[in-house]
């Protein structure tokens, strides 16, 4: 897997985490998703596959996109995927 593939996978995990949060997921499901994201981020940083700034930018982007989806129930087609931004 390339760095972009790993960041895209992290973006997917973050999207699931934030979508669950904004849709009112139960505590156990949210805790599991948070643990997966935390572990994946730690692994990327430990393996030097990503820098802190890249991960933070990806988290910020996915959080913003998830909040837009929660507010409008749509994804804007003109927005690039967050993994492409990072």
What is the DSSP-derived secondary structure letter of residue 73?
S
Quick one: pLDDT at residue 27?
85
Alpha-carbon gap, residue 56 to 59, rounded angstroms? 5
Kindly list the averaged pLDDT for each block of 10 residues, start to end, along the chain of length 86. Answer: 92 90 81 93 95 94 86 60 59
- 14 and 59 Cβ atoms separated by less than 8 Å: yes
Quick one: pLDDT at residue 24?
78
- 75 and 68 Cβ atoms separated by less than 8 Å: yes
- The residue with tokens 């948070």 is 34
């Amino acid at each position: 897997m390339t760095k972009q593939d790993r960041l895209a996978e992290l973006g997917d995990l973050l999207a699931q985490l934030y979508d669950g949060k904004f849709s009112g997921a139960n505590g156990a499901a949210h805790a599991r998703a948070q643990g997966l994201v935390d572990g994946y981020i730690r692994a990327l940083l430990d393996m030097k596959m990503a820098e802190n700034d890249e991960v933070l930018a990806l988290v910020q982007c996915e959080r913003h996109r998830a909040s837009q989806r929660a507010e409008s129930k749509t994804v804007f087609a003109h927005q690039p995927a967050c993994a492409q931004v990072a």
